[in-house]
Amino acid sequence: MAQTKNQEDLIDVLIVGAGPVGLTLAAELLRLGVQFRILETRPEPEKYSKAANLWPRTQEVFAAIGVIDRLLAESVPIRTATLYAYGKRMGHVTIDGYSSPYGTPVMIGQNRIERILSDHLVQAGRSVERGITFTGLHQNTDYVEATVEGNGKHETVHCRFLVGCDGNKSRVRNAIGLSIHPERLERRFMRQIDARVRWSRSVRDDQIWFSFSTLVISVSFLYQKDIIAFGSLTMIKVYPIAIQLLRKCKK
């Protein structure tokens, strides 16, 4: 039998996942005065750069939220792209000049975006609830019962809206019976490396470099002073091949 819920026991929105999408939604709900909770399975914040570019429209959204100045202070503008193929300079592309108050794309690590958005929530008296995993849901007439667990306890959360921002293996999506069928691209792979690079070319931090050969290598300067290398490579062969191809880039 369909049920209704006492409005006083409901929160407006339960956000599952505190990556850039979940945190951006939380910051926007905060701006609009909407009640929410945001949960994250990971006990610690992200430490890798991962997706590291912000295009103009995204910057406009962050401006509306109120965090754009902090993001730009820690980002690097990308105005040009230089393309090389098999050791030869093939071209130079201008990638700024968009019709926007923020017309230049910028590079900033996902870890920094998440930290700035999280700090924004904390300054408003809100925070990410870490170490909490979504386990299931039950849909009622005018609310959702979401079950979560973590930190030694189980809880049922009653919310008007449940939003899954928990990535490509989303537990929320699976719980409502939606599935995706990704297509595997044979002989294609991608690895991202956060590292210090010895670089004999231009050190202008508003450029991005592409080298096309047996591998496509992109070199972007994320930070001016504090590039940090985390962990170690899982594909040992990538490093010497990458270095070899970078050395082939000639003036």
Per-residue pLDDT tens digits for 168-218: 889 999 999 988 877 777 666 566 666 666 656 655 555 666 656 555 556
What is the reported pLDDT for 113?
A: 95
Axis-axis angle for helices 110-123, 20-32 (nearest 10): 30
Average pLDDT over residues 136-163: 95
pTM strictly above 0.85: no
Per-residue pLDDT tens digits for 88-116: 777 777 888 889 999 999 988 899 999 99
Q: Percent of the chain beyond pLDDT 70?
A: 70
The span from the CA of 83 to the CA of 208, in Å, is 9
User: What CATH class does 7-52+109-175 carry?
Assistant: alpha beta
In the chain, count of helices (H) and strands (E)?
6, 13
Question: Confidence class of residue 52 from pLDDT cuts 50, 70 and 90?
Answer: confident
The span from the CA of 77 to the CA of 95, in Å, is 10
Domains of the chain: which residue ranges? 7-52+109-175, 79-101+184-247
Strand pairing class (80-85; 207-212): parallel
Q: Average the pLDDT over each of 55-64, 66-75, 119-128, 196-205 and give the range with the smallest value.
A: 196-205
